[in-house]
Structure 1
Amino acid sequence: KHFLIIFGFLSIAFSGLSQGDYTDLRILYADQNYEKLAKEAEKYTTNDKTKKDVLPYFWLAKGLYKISLSGSDDDRFKNAYKDAIKYLGKGIAYDNKYNNGSATEDEKEFVGKFQMSLAEMILNEMATDNFKRASGWAIKYQKITNNEVVAFYAMGACKFYDNDKTSARDNWKQADKLLTEIESIENWTDADKRMLKMGVLYSAKALKDSKQDSKASELVGKVSQWFEEDSEWQTQYD
């Protein structure tokens, strides 16, 4: 009986350690000490007791993103932006698995801001015909969204204009399948909405360029109800 009581207290104690609010990381972020934040958060992600907690991954991604903007003399941060993608992706994956996405919802402002930075990078590459680079970034975007359909449409268009028609069709097929499961995008981040809009528009253009006008119109029609009031959509769609 005593053993069970002791075991119970230990379980509660360890649970408290692994499900803490990570005030130390919060303070480092508030103090703008981003390099130390990244180093301390990374320790939690490699500790057996806390490596499946989601908050350290989000804090690590936040720190790395800030470092990517300001730069660093420390070589360990030379790939800060790509590492931020990796750790945010892990955090979202663990959050979906263990918390039903609650932490991602709590961190929606940061997630949306970070997504938008990557979305703009993808769309800028596409706008300058750097479709191979855009496709590579779109693959990474998949890791930081729960709406993978948006990346598949972008990748389909990129593969088409990079003369990989087979991969283009495969990506569009997967995107079309995922799109049938979507009833509303009201609660999506602005970045996900923008990626869907532009991915569909680029894909429709690709279909038109390959003399598949009816398929292009059909694709646009599947999402037009969500962008009827969007001036950019109206301009490019018309």
Structure 2
Amino acid sequence: MIMQRNVFEGAPIAVGSAEGFKERMRRITDSMLDEGALLTVNYRINGGYAPWFALRVWTGREKSVEKTLEAMGVRSLVPMRKGPYLRRRGRVIEGSMMPVIHGYVLVQMMAVPEYLAGLKGVEHAIDVLGGCEQPMRLTDAEVNRFNVLACGGVYDWERPVDLVLKAGEPVWVTEGHFRDQKGIVVTPNRNGRGDVVIAIMFMGREVPVTVPLALLRKL
């Protein structure tokens, strides 16, 4: 008869460590982002331009995530535009600044899955558009052009656009995170200004996105 030993040998992992799971993961995240940011900077200094990726974040936290990444040395950008005018007691108040596309921060980093995965550890970040293995990329020139158009007021809420859309119409995204993607209008716009909600088929599922009317053209 074989006797079984109920004795554990060796030392349990992480027992007695003062560092908790969240702290350990945050340390790993910070380390990966530091390494990725350094390589990206060195690559740019030597004349190269690392690709840009869209990091999906909590809506309303875009600038907060941008500041966090910049503080860590990670180049990031939230293209901004003027929001709708406010009309109160006969006065017209100029709209406040808002992201061109809500819920996303553009990040420039070397295309290494481990570095991109580190972005998800940043507070208020959700995931990388397209996934860390095969993310959707933007070139440095595309991002610069998109930001120049935004700064020039092309996507401002009150800027009139000669385009009327109806629900169910197919459209094409001309710039930004979803550049060259086809979408279907969900929420129509007959005012010739402001935003439109479209659904983009991405990675086998429909992704709803709110974009300026000026960012679209009919197919």
With a CA cutoff of 8 Å and minimum separation of 6, indicate the structure with the bigger relative contact order. 2
Structure with the largest fraction of helix: 1
TM-score, normalised by the number of residues in structure 1: 0.29
* Structure with the greater alpha carbon radius of gyration: 2
Structure with the largest fraction of strand: 2
